[in-house]
Amino acid sequence: MPSRPRPPGLVLPCPDAVNEAIRDLMDEPASAQRSERYARLLAVWRELAEEDGCRAA
């Protein structure tokens, strides 16, 4: 399935940066805001994995 087109000029971070952001986020207390940020980070991670041809298990 092709990935969604990105707005011109939008650059995705590298996968390592997304993983680090997720790890840092998990050190924060549980909250609705943390859950929202986690969902956004997972969406970015998924897009990166799809572009790289990876499939998450």
pLDDT value, residue 52: 67
pLDDT of residue 37: 96
Tokens read off for 33: 């805001």
What's the pLDDT score for residue 15?
A: 86
pLDDT at 23: 94
Residue 10 DSSP symbol = -
Q: In the prediction, which pLDDT does 1 show?
A: 43
Long-range contacts of 12-15 (CB under 8 A, 24+ apart): 12/44, 12/47, 12/48, 12/51, 13/44, 13/48, 14/48, 15/45, 15/48, 15/49, 15/52
Write down the pLDDT at residue 2.
46
The string of pLDDT tens digits covering residues 3-55 is 555 555 556 678 889 999 999 999 999 999 999 999 999 999 998 888 765 54
